[in-house]
Amino acid sequence: MLVPHDMNGQTVGVLGLGGSGVAAVAALRAAGAHVVAFDDGKCQQDLPAIQMTDWREWPWQDMAAMVISPGIPHLHPKPHPAAAHANSLQIDVISEVELALRAKPKAQLVVVTGTNGKSTTTALIGHCLATAGRAHAIGGNLGEPACSLDDPGKDGVLVLELSSYQLETTPSLAPDISILLNISPDHLDRHGGMNGYIAAKAVVLDQLGADCLAIIGDGDEHVKALAAATRKRGIKTMIASPDDAPDAQCHSASLAGLHNAENAAAAAFALAALGLDMAMINRGVKSYSSLPHRLQTVARCGKIQFVNDSKATNGVAAAKALSAFDDIYWVAGGLAKQDGLAPAMQYLGAVKKAYLIGTAAAEFAKSIDGQCPAAICGDLEKATRAAFDDASAAIDGGTILLAPAAASFDQFTSFGARGDAFAALAQNLCANTAGGNHA
């Protein structure tokens, strides 16, 4: 556990008791802080080990800081009343990640962010470090909360994936290596618009020193502008493009597509800076398996494969998935985001047919009218079965790709639940087909 010992004796509020909130309470207790905690959606019976106190009854006059869950607004579109009260009293509103950094871990710190690709890049770095036998820990927005990690020590590496929500409430963030992959419109309501979102992502670069490294993607004008500004400050800045990917990437089914080539390039730059040679990096890339719901092959039936990219919750992510395959039977839709399908339109050439679900189905059908055949199927099961029927009738088979370009919350509790449902459908369809197998 990363324990912020400097907070011994301080009074700290914790708002939101999901995974990060519970980890924050544990770390603060270990530090000897006085903790008050509250969650709007949970009662005392849900968390018997944590004494909950309504935020209105907190000893605000004594509080040094308030730790807020990344899912709770602290500024936009409207701050939670507890956050608004903390702001009015000029009490620091911080993240659980901030607590972990106040523990002053001795390991080198690598931070990864971006609208898309950050989990794959984080996991790939961790996998390559493990393959090379290097002490490390990975967490943050991926896996374990930061406070739950152990310090790998001065010869080790702490790799944190951080979201925009976490970045803007982590004022102590000063990485040794910062990776900013891309920025496309997302979560704009939480950041007061695009400028606020860009500023939140840019926090990963703000406190880099002269001996630090910035690794920035090559894809969009937002990150290109930040790269130029970072370089102008005298920070070593490397641009990760698909051409810089390790040789093993082009043979990896788990890292298919130009976007994953860019992710692998960013990971390789960081790993090289951490002392791994190219043979070690290629060995790790070769043995890497994709994370669930990210271009994950979940079943195969003869010439048909099912690929679960449920994490592609916006148009940019879906576009990257579409560029990775030929002969695509595309399952898309859900709760549309601001960018809709616009970023994906230029990649419809490989789509044999689209099968549209959720509240965005009619909107998506209108967007792609005349570009490729489409059917409004309503729900995931009907869409997946229809796609399988059509792919089965095709001589060359193809890829049944779930890349929704939309959030899941109209029909599922999370993108993970949506991906799990797709995988179960795929495996059931293959189990009932001669020659089918699970991936």
Burial of 221 from C-beta contacts in 10 A (0-12 / 13-18 / 19+): exposed
Q: Which residue has the higher pLDDT, 215 or 295?
A: 215
Inform me whether the pLDDT recorded for 373 exceeds 70. yes
In this prediction, residue 186 has a pLDDT band, given cuts at 50, 70 and 90, of confident
Sign, CA dihedral 31-36-41-43, equals: positive
- What are the backbone dihedrals phi and psi of residue 420, each rounded to the nearest 5 degrees, phi first? -65, -40
The average pLDDT across 19-36 equals: 97
- What's the CATH number for 5-98? 3.40.50.720
Residue 438 scores a pLDDT above 60: no
Does 52 have pLDDT greater than 60? yes
Map out the domains of the chain as residue ranges: 5-98, 105-286, 296-433
The DSSP code for 241 is: -
pLDDT at 158: 98
- For residue 255, what pLDDT is reported? 92
pLDDT class of 366 with cuts at 50, 70, 90:
very high
Over range 389-395, report the average pLDDT. 96
User: Average pLDDT for residues 59-64, to the nearest whole number?
Assistant: 97
pTM, to two decimals: 0.86
Count of CB atoms situated within 10 Å of the CB of 126: 24
Can you say whether residue 104 is alpha, beta or left, with left for phi > 0 and alpha for psi between -120 and 50 degrees?
left
pLDDT at 67 > cutoff 60: yes
Helices and strands, number each (H, E), in the chain: 14, 19
Per-residue model confidence as pLDDT tens digits over 136-174: 999 999 999 999 999 999 999 999 999 999 999 999 999
Please give the CATH topology (third level) of the domain spanning 105-286: UDP-N-acetylmuramoyl-L-alanine:D-glutamate ligase (3.40.1190)
**Residue 133 phi/psi, 5° resolution?**
75, 25
Please give the average per-residue pLDDT across 14-43, as a whole number: 96
Mean pLDDT, the chain, as a whole number?
A: 95
328-333 and 436-438 strand pairing: unpaired
| Confidence at residue 253, expressed as pLDDT on a 0 to 100 scale | 85
Checking if the pLDDT of 436 tops 60, the result is: no
Say which CATH architecture domain 296-433 belongs to: Alpha-Beta Complex (3.90)
For residues 185 and 116, the answer to whether their CB atoms sit within 8 Å is no
Decide if pLDDT at 339 tops 80: no
pLDDT at 337: 85
Model confidence pLDDT, tens digit, residues 68-118? 999 999 999 999 999 999 999 999 999 999 999 999 999 999 999 999 999
3-state secondary structure of 15: strand
Q: Smallest Cα–Cα separation from 216: which of 172, 170, 265, 176?
A: 265
pLDDT score recorded for residue 435: 52
Q: Distances in Å between the alpha carbon of 7 and those of 63, 86, 103, 356? A: 11, 18, 9, 51
